[in-house]
């Protein structure tokens, strides 16, 4: 690349411009919310992008002030429910995808087909019957009542991504392990899982985002702070008076909710990227 | 160390296609057996049946006299080297070699594992690479790691699935010698799958030639070469491969498209009364008549032919003679070419002559043929009509004695 750097100078400029445009387009809303979260109540109405007076008031309100209970319990609910749902989804999907990639059993296609069908089924059409069912069996407004529907969102995509990933791992490795004296489980644990880890991380992050971002289930299947996740809780923010919009507080909450996601990506990006470059897998 | 016995092994897939069909082989303790054949002949399937990665449809598989049909691979105590090496990319060379021992919890102490790994590494010249990952090794080194993993097991037998096919030609020669040396040194029963003739001929105590799931012949490399059982074995073994010249036998005269050739009594008797036969003549059975002494010439037959072109290789020279083939054997030859994965049927005689011979394209040369060594085949059944079974068995017995002597010599040198 370095040798023909002069030739690509023009192209490089083009790419830079394009990247900046895309970044601006994608990040502008985030920046706007970040700016809004530092505005005072009076400042909200003006058309300026940056706040005229920077204030931590909105953050104070949701973290230690009036809205503290509403926000922090919701935040706890969100983290707990999402982590549990992600964990279960990844463990189940790993076993399921492994079976799909490696074993020949009747109904393999049906499982994949059903998973796909479930994942494209509109959430809104499921939520009403689920609401009635959950009320009848006592799952309404509980963590479990949200974890189960979240699994229906995260499992299909996890199964599909992991199955694709497992198919890339050479079968020889597993057979070699079996000939070396491993049971099927040992071969899976010691030869396949270490190689599949990058795929599992990627899948876990995707599953986490899906569950973290859910709004429809969160607002429909909860009624109190017992299980209400953050996206739903934001809708219940109220201003200091009836006539005040809680825009500042919502913005601050939105920023805080974004932080775990950013942290996750930063933490695991090495695993995701390093993933398939381990080499020696092919001859 | 164990013997392996294959009794009428059959592998049928769901569609009823028999990939391995009724194969019986007795593999002696310490013997090196090669399974060879064109692609799709079932050689790899047979190997995987022995190691337990493929189910056995019918027949019995005995290791050390014990039936193991239903045993899982890990219970058979065999070591296998895969074509792709199947090294664990996340483990170092050291851990790759130690992997089988780590699986048997409590059987080996840490010191024992360390000692065995280092011993194997020394044997395979891997000591300085023990801390590296497989991704950073060359093809030959990866191959050796795979061998190391097999060695530390102290398995009853080694199984090799085309272990050298991913290496370049030079390295392949080196590793071939290495495998031969190790096998002799460890004296472990080995089964080796390959489609490469050189590997088959140089490594094997006995070579089993397979075609479409059927065992064609199992014998020492020399017996296969000198006393092939049928047309397929004759054509498959040897490079460049055997020439098949159609013709009819009348008395002691064999009439071919190249003219009449006088043949010895033995061949004459075998070919008598048949409408048409195929003479199997290896390229080196020919020679340049002008370079031979009278005594030598009298042992065979001379005839003249036009050389269509010649190739000088430095150490030898190949001359090609074109001829019109007989329609009655065309189908047989076309089938044969197909079965051997060859491109097309050749109506060209390949003649190997001394490098000093001055054959040029278009020359009419006088060729000498050693008719004592040629074979006659029945084009309909492929059967070798002139096969001397006793002489063949003698060759295989000699090879067996050679192997035992090798093993003993090694043991005595050790002590």
CB B209 within 8 A of CB B37: yes
Regarding whether B167 and B32 lie in a shared domain, the answer is: yes
Regarding whether B217 and B141 lie in a shared domain, the answer is: yes
Regarding whether B34 and B116 lie in a shared domain, the answer is: yes
The secondary element (H helix, E strand) that includes residue B201 is helix B197-203
Q: Which of B89, B104, B146, B156 to mutate to test the interface with A (most CBs of A within 10 A)?
A: B89
Regarding whether B320 and B201 lie in a shared domain, the answer is: no
CB contact under 8 A, A180 and B153: yes
For B132, nearest residue in chain A (alpha carbons): A280
With beta carbons under 8 A apart, name residues in chain A contacting B88. Answer: 173, 177, 190-191, 194
Picking from B191, B226, B261, the residue at the C-terminal end of a domain is B226
Regarding whether B92 and B54 lie in a shared domain, the answer is: yes
Whether residue B17 lies inside any domain: the answer is yes
Which structural domain, as residue segments, surrounds residue B321? 239-386
CB contact under 8 A, A179 and B51: yes
- How confident is the model over B171-215, as pLDDT tens digits? 888 889 989 988 988 889 999 999 888 899 999 999 999 999 999
Whether residue B397 lies inside any domain: the answer is no
Residue listed under structure tokens 């295989």: B396
Q: Which of A168, A181, A189 to mutate to test the interface with B (most CBs of B within 10 A)?
A: A181
Q: Nearest CA to CA, how far is B79 from chain A (Å)?
A: 6
DSSP codes joined into one string, B363-399: -EEEEEE-TTS-EEE-TTT-BBTT--HHHHHHHHHHH
What pLDDT score was predicted for residue A86? 94
Whether residue B10 lies inside any domain: the answer is yes
Q: How many domains does chain B have?
A: 2
Whether residue B79 lies inside any domain: the answer is yes
Regarding whether B55 and B18 lie in a shared domain, the answer is: yes
Q: Which of A178, A179, A183 sits opposite B79 (nearest CB)?
A: A179
What are the residues facing B79 on neighbouring strands? Answer: B158
Regarding whether B67 and B191 lie in a shared domain, the answer is: yes
Regarding whether B313 and B284 lie in a shared domain, the answer is: yes
The SS3 of residue B273 is coil
Picking from B226, B248, B283, the residue at the C-terminal end of a domain is B226
For A170, nearest residue in chain B (alpha carbons): B86
Residue % of chain A over a pLDDT of 70: 90
What pLDDT score was predicted for residue B346? 65
Residues 6+ positions from B113 with CB-CB distance below 8 Å: B98, B101, B102
Domains of chain A, start order: 68-236 (1.10.3720.10)
Picking from B226, B251, B281, the residue at the C-terminal end of a domain is B226
Regarding whether B267 and B152 lie in a shared domain, the answer is: no
Q: Nearest CA to CA, how far is A83 from chain B (Å)?
A: 28
CB A229 within 8 A of CB A214: yes
Cα gap B37→B22, rounded to integer Å:
16
- Binned at pLDDT 50, 70 and 90, residue A242 comes out as low
With beta carbons under 8 A apart, name residues in chain A contacting B84. Answer: 170, 172, 282-283
Q: In what order do the strands lie in the sheet with B259-262?
A: B259-262, B253-256, B243-250, B277-281, B375-377
Cα gap A39→A30, rounded to integer Å:
15
Buried b (16+ CB within 10 A) or exposed e, A72-86: bbbbebbeebbbbbb
Cα gap B325→B321, rounded to integer Å:
12
Mean pLDDT by 10 residues, chain B (415 residues): 89 89 93 92 93 92 92 91 89 93 84 92 90 90 91 90 88 89 89 91 93 93 94 89 90 88 88 89 91 86 89 90 84 84 74 87 88 91 90 90 86 77
What pLDDT score was predicted for residue B228? 94
What pLDDT score was predicted for residue A277? 45
Regarding whether B180 and B53 lie in a shared domain, the answer is: yes
Q: What's the average model confidence in pLDDT over A203-218?
A: 89
What pLDDT score was predicted for residue A279? 37
The H-assigned helical ranges of B27-81 are 43-51
CB A163 within 8 A of CB A101: yes
- Orientation of helix A68-102 relative to helix A247-274, angle to 10°: 30
Whether residue B409 lies inside any domain: the answer is no
């Amino acid at each position: 690349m370095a040798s023909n750097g002069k030739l690509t100078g023009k192209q490089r400029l083009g790419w830079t411009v394009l990247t900046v445009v895309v970044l601006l387009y994608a990040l502008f809303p985030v920046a706007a919310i970040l700016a809004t979260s530092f505005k005072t109540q009076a400042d909200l109405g003006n058309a300026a992008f940056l706040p005229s007076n920077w204030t931590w008031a909105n953050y104070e309100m949701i973290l230690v002030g009036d809205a503290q209970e509403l926000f922090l319990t919701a935040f706890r609910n969100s983290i707990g429910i999402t982590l549990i749902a992600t964990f279960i989804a990844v463990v189940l999907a790993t076993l399921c995808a492994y079976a799909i990639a490696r074993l020949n059993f009747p109904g393999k296609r049906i499982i994949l087909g059903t998973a796909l069908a479930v994942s494209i089924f509109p959430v809104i059409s499921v939520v009403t019957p689920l609401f009635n069912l959950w009320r009848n069996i006592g799952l309404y407004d509980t963590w479990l009542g949200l974890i189960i529907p979240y699994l229906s969102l995260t499992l299909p995509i996890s199964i599909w991504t992991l199955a694709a990933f497992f198919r890339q791992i050479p079968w020889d490795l597993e057979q070699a392990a079996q000939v070396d004296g491993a049971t099927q489980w040992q071969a899976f644990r010691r030869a396949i899982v270490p190689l599949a880890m990058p795929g599992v991380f990627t899948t876990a992050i995707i599953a986490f985002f899906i569950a973290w971002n859910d709004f429809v289930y969160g607002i429909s299947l909860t009624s109190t702070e017992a299980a209400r996740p953050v996206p739903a809780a934001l809708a219940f923010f109220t201003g200091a008076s009836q006539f005040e919009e809680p825009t500042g507080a919502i913005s601050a909450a939105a920023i805080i909710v974004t932080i775990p996601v950013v942290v996750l990506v930063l933490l695991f990006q090495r695993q995701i990227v390093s993933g398939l470059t381990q080499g020696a897998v092919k001859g | 160390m164990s013997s392996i016995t294959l009794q009428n092994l059959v592998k049928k897939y769901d569609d009823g296609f028999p990939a391995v069909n009724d194969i019986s082989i007795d593999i002696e303790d310490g013997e090196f057996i090669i399974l060879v054949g064109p692609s799709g002949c079932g050689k790899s399937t047979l190997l995987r049946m022995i190691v337990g990665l493929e189910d056995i449809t019918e027949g019995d598989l005995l290791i050390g006299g014990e039936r193991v049909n239903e045993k899982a691979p890990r219970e058979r105590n065999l070591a296998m080297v895969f074509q792709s090496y199947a090294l664990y990319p996340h483990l170092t060379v050291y851990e790759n070699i130690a992997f089988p021992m780590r699986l048997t919890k409590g059987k080996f102490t840490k010191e024992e594992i360390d000692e065995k790994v280092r011993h194997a590494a020394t044997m395979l010249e891997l000591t300085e690479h023990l801390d590296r990952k497989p991704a950073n090794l060359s093809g030959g080194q990866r191959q050796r790691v795979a061998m190391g993993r097999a060695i530390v097991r102290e398995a009853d037998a080694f199984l090799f699935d085309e272990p050298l096919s991913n290496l370049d030609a030079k390295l392949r020669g080196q590793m071939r010698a290495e495998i031969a040396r190790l096998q002799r040194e460890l004296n472990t029963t080995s089964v080796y799958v390959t489609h490469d003739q050189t590997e088959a001929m140089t490594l094997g105590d006995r070579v089993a030639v397979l075609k479409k799931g059927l065992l064609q012949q199992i014998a020492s490399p020399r017996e296969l070469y000198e006393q092939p059982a049928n047309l397929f074995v004759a054509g498959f073994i040897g490079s460049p491969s055997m020439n098949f010249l159609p013709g009819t036998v009348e008395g002691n005269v064999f009439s071919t498209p190249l003219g009449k050739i006088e043949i010895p009594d033995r061949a004459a008797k075998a070919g008598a009364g048949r409408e048409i036969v195929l003479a199997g003549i290896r390229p080196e059975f020919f020679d340049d008549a002008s370079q031979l002494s009278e005594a030598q010439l009298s042992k065979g037959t001379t005839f003249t032919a036009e050389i269509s072109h010649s190739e000088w290789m430095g150490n030898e020279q190949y001359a090609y003679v074109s001829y019109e083939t007989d329609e009655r054997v065309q189908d047989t030859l076309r089938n044969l070419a197909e079965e051997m994965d060859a491109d097309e049927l050749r109506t060209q005689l390949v003649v190997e002559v001394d490098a000093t011979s001055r054959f040029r394209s278009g020359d009419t040369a006088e060729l000498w043929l050693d008719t004592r060594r040629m074979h006659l085949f029945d084009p309909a059944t492929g059967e070798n009509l002139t096969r001397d079974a006793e002489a063949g068995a003698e060759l295989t017995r000699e090879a067996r004695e050679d192997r035992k002597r090798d093993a003993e010599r090694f043991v005595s040198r050790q002590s």
